[in-house]
Amino acid sequence: MNEIKKFFEDQGVSRRDFLKSLLKISAGATILSAIPSIVSATTLSEWKEGKRFKFDDTKIKVSEEITLNDEAEIGAAVVGAEGLLIRETDLQFTRSLERRIRTDGVVIHHVGNTDKNVNAAAIHRWHINNGWKGIGYHFIIRKDGSIERGRPLESVGAHCYNQNEHTVGICVVGNFELARPTQAQFRSAEKLIGAICGLYSIIPNDQTIVGHKYYNRTACPGTYLQKWVPDIIRNANKFC
Ligand SMILES: [Zn+2]
Task: For the chain, give every domain's residue range.
Answer: 2-39, 58-239
The rounded Å distance from CA 85 to ligand 1 centre is: 24
> How far is ligand 1, taken at its centre, from the CA of residue 55, in Å?
9
Biggest CA–CA distance in the chain, Å, is 53
Cα-to-centroid distance, 32 and ligand 1 (Å): 30
58-239 folds as: Lysozyme-like (3.40.80)
pLDDT of residue 36: 37
Give 216 Cα–ligand 1 centroid separation in angstroms.
9
Please tell me the distance between residue 229's alpha carbon and the centre of ligand 1 in angstroms: 14
Per-residue confidence (pLDDT) for residue 63, from 0 to 100: 63
Could you tell me what percent of the chain has a pLDDT over 90?
61
CA–centroid distance, 31 to ligand 1, in Å, is 30
> What are the CB-based long-range contacts (under 8 Å, 24+) for 203-211?
204/233, 204/236, 204/237, 204/240, 205/233, 206/230, 206/233, 207/105, 208/104, 208/105, 208/106, 209/105, 209/106, 209/108, 209/233, 209/236, 210/105, 210/106, 210/107, 210/108, 211/107, 211/108, 211/109
91 pLDDT more than 80: yes
41/204: higher pLDDT: 204
**Is the pLDDT reported for residue 177 higher than 90?**
yes
The closest alpha carbon to 164, from 121, 135, 184, 185, belongs to 135
Tell me the average pLDDT across 185-214. 97
Distance between Cα 218 and ligand 1 center (Å): 7
What residue type is 83 in one-letter code?
G
Return the percentage of the chain with pLDDT > 70, whole number.
Answer: 75
- Side chain identity at 33, as an amino acid letter? S
Average pLDDT over residues 100-127: 95
* Ligand 1 (single-atom ion) residues, CB below 5 Å: 57, 109, 212, 220
Q: Which of 186, 141, 132 is nearest to 159 (CA)?
A: 132
What is d(CA 2, CA 222) in angstroms, rounded to the nearest whole number? 35
- Segment 83-98 shows an average pLDDT of 94
**What integer best gives the mean pLDDT of the chain?**
82
Query: How far does residue 7's CA lie from ligand 1's centre (Å)?
Result: 21
The C-alpha atoms of residue 196 and residue 198 are separated, in whole angstroms, by 5
CA of 144 to the centre of ligand 1 (A): 20
- Please state, in angstroms and rounded to a whole number, the distance separating the CA atoms of residues 12 and 3: 14
Residue 41 has pLDDT above 90, yes or no: no
Q: How confident is the model at residue 35 (pLDDT cuts 50, 70, 90)?
A: very low
